[in-house]
Every structure is written in C-alpha cells, then in structure tokens.
C-alpha cells in the first residue's frame, strides 16, 4: 500500500490479479480509490520481456481497463530502460487511452549483470522523454519522472517528481541509488543527483556534457573555413553526447568535418607535457597521447627523469611523432633511447629535439657516440645537459 498523499486508499500492484473485472469492482466497493500498475511498454512483447513473464502485458492491459471501468483512479508506472525507451511516447499515449490520469516514468535499479542491457543511455533518452512529455500534455495526463537526473530531461525537466511517501512495500521498481552531489551542477536543487550505478558504468560524460548544452541564445556559427579546411582541434571540447544536439548540428549543414562546429573551445596552450611512468601500461599512455593530440597544441614535451626509461619508449615515441604535433621534444636520461635498434630510431623521424641528461663529463663522453647515431637516424636535434649526480 502507498501512503495517501491525497485522501483515499491507493494500491500499488503488478495488476495481474486485477485482470478480472470483478476483483477491481470489489476493491472499489471496499474503499480503494486508486491503483498504480506497471505498464513498461504498450507493446506486449516489450513489457513481457522486461518483467520476464509471457502474457503479462495482456493481463495488465485488461486490468487497467477493468480498474477504470470500476471507477478507480488509474496510474501507470513505466521503467525507462534501453529496450523500451523508444516506446515511451506511445506508452504514455496508450496509458492515457486506457484511462490513466497519471503516468510515472522511473529509472530502474537493475542487477549488476543486467545494467548494460537495461540502463537507458541518458543522452539518447532525452528527446524521447521530451516526446513523452508532449504526448502526456496532448492527452491531458499528469507525467512524473522519478530517479532520472534533471540534466537528462531536457524540456521535460519540470516533470521531475517530488519524493513519494511510502508506508508499505516500496515501489515495484526500486529507486536507483543516486550520487548525492554533482560538481558544477546545472540542475540543483531539484535534481536527486546522478544515478550512482549509471555513473560507475558509463562515467559522467553525458551529465557533464557542456558541448551539448551551449550557452542559450548564443548564435552558432557554421564550420570554419572553406571546404577542405581541416577541422579545428578539440580545444577541450569533449564529444557531445546528446542526440538532440547531434540532430540540431546535422540540420545546420556546413559543419566541414567538425561535429562540434559552433561550440567554443578553451584557449589552446602553446605546449603540452606527457609523462611515461615506468610501470604504466602502454595502452593507457597511448590513450593519453591521443587525448593530448586533440587539444590542438603545436608542441609536445616529455621531460622528466623517468619517461625515457620506460620499457616501451621506442613504441611510445613513435606514437608521439605520428600524432600531428609540429614539434616533439624529449629530455631525460637516454640509456634506453641509445639502446634502440637502428630501424627503431629511423621510425622516430619527426622527433624535433633530444636533450640528454647526464651526471657529469664522464657520462657525457660515454653517450656522445650513441647520441650522434640518434641524431643521424632520427634527424632530431641532440643536445647534452649536465644535471649533476642524483
Ligand atoms: S549535474 Fe548532477 S545534480 Fe546536476 S542536474 Fe545533472 S545529475 Fe543532477
């Protein structure tokens, strides 16, 4: 049973027992005023798959009709899930057609193994929630959204439901635990916060996506330059995640290869620094190099006492010179660099400068021959710097 936010007794039920009209009539006669029944999709196969019960949807549909006919106030609850979110607008319209006065959309809390299959991607769900909102307004049905972040609702943001008083068993769809706070939040204080399990699985990209939420009212220029101009660098602009943004960009045309055309970037720093901790896996280091190459800085510097000693320094530097930087400069102890094969040094053409750190004149004399081989094969400028012992 649900506490009465309004006068009268309400019942939250899966609805299967109400498919016989006589049950609904008796409950109404005993004083029940309203029922809330889950109908996750108006298409029977989708609802049945979600509740894992063949035939459930048809019984729920009969129950909803029976309850409305018995004079009960009918509310419908639908989980917002990946497989059913496309159907949200028609589910809301169908609920209205069955006599529902309220539709409650709720983010479920799937078991860990089911999260990828069940969680809706928030950036894709936004336009569907907006369409569901429009369907509800057109049908005169009250729509409430539970557990979804405000920043994922778009124009349906004012449909965010207040906390519900529950006396008895909780909702058939348990609420998804939320992360309490979000830095730089555009939606507080009404928002319940980001769904914790969702963030753990997919990250915060869609929640913190400033690229999909450009400043309201700002004029979005077309892509830069004439056709054939290379797209501008990311300059801190993360890929947009909102379907609505992508549709809007596609409608503008003339993006000239830049899906984020019109989104202002951060100032581009004159140089960037990378570091290769010796134990770090090369996959993570390559990912970081790719990220740095998208910023748009012309110069990449690697200058510390450990990066050039990474066991895969040859492969990592080859990656650096392929990433489109105008200059790649390295500095540090060069023992591993000098140990590279000739062909590995040839592959480093594009390396601009190597600064070899040595402890003193004796070590300097020991590396000179190797450094001249590095300079000859990689064509990098090579200098030696005495940094002192230790
Ligand atoms: S950033 Fe966090 S608190 Fe703010 S609206 Fe989004 S989910 Fe809610």
Q: Which pLDDT tens digit goes with each residue over 226-256?
A: 666 667 788 888 788 888 888 888 887 777 7
Q: Which atom of ligand 1 is nearest to the CA of 181?
A: 3
Range with the poorest average pLDDT among 63-77, 151-165, 280-294: 151-165
pLDDT at 67 over 60: yes
pLDDT band, residue 382 (cuts 50/70/90): very high
pLDDT of 330 over the 90 cut: yes
| DSSP state at residue 349 | B
- In this structure, the residue with its CA closest to atom 1 of ligand 1 is 185
Q: Is the pLDDT of residue 171 over 70?
A: no
Whether 152 lines ligand 1, by a CB cut-off of 6 Å, is no
Question: For a pocket test of ligand 1, which of 194, 199, 205, 206 has the largest count of ligand atoms closer than 8 A to its C-beta?
Answer: 194
Atom of ligand 1 minimally distant from the CA of 186 = 4
What pLDDT does residue 184 have? 62
Q: Is the C-beta atom of 192 inside 6 A of ligand 1?
A: no
> Which one has a higher pLDDT value, 374 or 187?
374
- Stated pTM of the model: 0.69
Q: Which of 375, 386, 384, 377 is nearest to 356 (CA)?
A: 384
pLDDT for 72 equals 95
Check residue 279 and give left, alpha or beta (phi > 0: left; psi -120 to 50: alpha): alpha
CA distances from residue 314 to 72, 103, 346 in whole angstroms, order as listed: 74, 60, 11
Task: Tell me which of 87-91, 189-193, 335-339 is least confident.
Answer: 189-193
Mean pLDDT of 123-141: 94
Rounded to the nearest angstrom, the distance between the alpha carbon of 243 and the centre of ligand 1 is: 18
pLDDT of residue 2: 42
pLDDT of residue 183: 65
Inter-residue contact 10 to 74 (CB < 8 Å):
no
Q: How far is the CA of 187 from the centre of ligand 1 (A)?
A: 5
Of 149, 267, 264, 154, the C-alpha closest to 215 is 264
Determine whether the shortest distance from the Cβ of 88 to ligand 1 is under 6 A: no
pLDDT over threshold 90, residue 370: yes
Residue 167, pLDDT > 50, answer no
Residue 217 has pLDDT above 70, yes or no: no
What pLDDT is recorded for position 16? 92
Q: What whole-number distance in Å separates Cα of residue 212 and Cα of residue 237? A: 10
Closest-lying ligand 1 atom to the alpha carbon of residue 194: 7
The response to whether residue 176 sits with its C-beta less than 6 Å from ligand 1 reads: no
| 9-202 and 271-386 have identical folds | yes
CATH architecture of 271-386: Alpha-Beta Barrel (3.20)
> Which has the minimum average pLDDT: 39-48, 200-209, 345-354?
200-209
Lowest mean pLDDT among 111-125, 167-181, 259-273, 305-319: 167-181
* Residue 191 Cβ < 6 Å to ligand 1: yes
pLDDT over 60 (residue 4): no
CA 177 / ligand 1 centre spacing (Å): 14
Q: Rounded to the nearest whole angstrom, what is the distance from the C-alpha of residue 149 to the centroid of ligand 1?
A: 6
Fold of the domain spanning 9-202: TIM Barrel (3.20.20)
Beta-bridge partner residues of 10: 2, 34
Nearest atom within ligand 1 for CA of residue 184: 1
Over residues 304-317, the pLDDT tens digits come to 999 999 999 999 99
Taking residue 299's Cβ as centre, other Cβ atoms within 10 Å add up to 15
CA–CA gap between residue 341 and residue 329 (Å, rounded):
20
Segment among 239-248, 266-275, 370-379 with least mean pLDDT: 239-248
151 within ligand 1 shell (Cβ under 6 A): yes
* Residue 331 and residue 337 in contact, taking contact as beta carbons nearer than 8 Å: no
Atom of ligand 1 nearest to the CA of 192: 8
185 CB near ligand 1 (under 6 Å): yes
The more confidently predicted of residues 367 and 171 is: 367
Q: Which residues sit opposite 384 in a β-bridge?
A: 356
Q: What is the residue extent of each domain of the chain?
A: 9-202, 209-214+232-266, 271-386
The values of phi and psi at residue 125, to 5°, are: -75, -25
Residue 148 C-alpha to ligand 1 middle, in angstroms? 9
């Amino acid at each position: 049973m649900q506490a009465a936010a309004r006068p009268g007794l309400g019942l939250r039920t899966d609805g299967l027992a109400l498919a016989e009209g006589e049950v609904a009539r008796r409950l109404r006669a005993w004083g029940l005023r309203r029922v809330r029944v889950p109908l996750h999709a108006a298409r029977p196969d989708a609802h049945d798959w979600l509740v894992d019960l063949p035939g459930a949807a048809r019984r729920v549909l009969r129950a909803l009709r029976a309850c409305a006919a018995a004079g009960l106030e009918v509310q419908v609850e639908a989980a917002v899930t990946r497989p059913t979110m496309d159907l949200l607008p028609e589910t809301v319209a169908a609920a209205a057609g069955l006599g529902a006065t309220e539709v409650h959309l709720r983010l479920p809390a799937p078991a860990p193994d089911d999260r990828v299959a069940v969680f809706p991607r928030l950036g894709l769900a936004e336009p569907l929630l907006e369409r569901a909102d429009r369907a509800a307004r057109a049908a005169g049905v009250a729509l409430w959204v539970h557990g979804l972040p405000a920043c994922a609702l778009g124009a349906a943001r004012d449909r965010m439901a207040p906390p519900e008083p529950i006396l008895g068993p909780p909702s058939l769809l348990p609420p998804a635990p939320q992360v309490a706070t979000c830095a730089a939040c555009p939606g507080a204080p009404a928002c319940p916060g980001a769904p914790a399990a969702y963030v753990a699985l997919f990250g915060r990209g869609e929640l913190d996506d400033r690229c999909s939420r450009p400043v309201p009212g700002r004029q979005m220029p077309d892509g830069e330059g004439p056709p054939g101009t290379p797209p501008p660098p990311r300059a801190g602009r993360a890929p947009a995640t909102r379907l609505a943004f992508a549709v809007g960009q596609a409608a503008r045309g003339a993006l000239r290869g830049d899906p984020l055309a019109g989104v202002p970037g951060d100032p581009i720093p004159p140089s960037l620094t990378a570091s290769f901790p010796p134990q770090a896996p090369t996959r993570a280091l390559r990912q970081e190099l790719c990220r740095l190459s998208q910023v748009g800085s012309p110069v990449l510097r690697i200058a510390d006492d450990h990066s050039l000693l990474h066991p895969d320094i040859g492969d990592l530097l080859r990656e650096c010179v392929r990433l489109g930087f105008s200059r790649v400069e390295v500095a540090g102890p060069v023992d591993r660099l000098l140990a590279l094969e000739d062909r590995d040094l040839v592959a480093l053409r594009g390396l601009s400068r190597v600064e070899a750190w040595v402890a003193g004149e004796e070590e300097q004399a020991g590396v000179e021959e190797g450094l001249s081989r590095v300079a000859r094969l990689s064509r990098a400028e090579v200098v030696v710097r005495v940094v002192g012992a230790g």
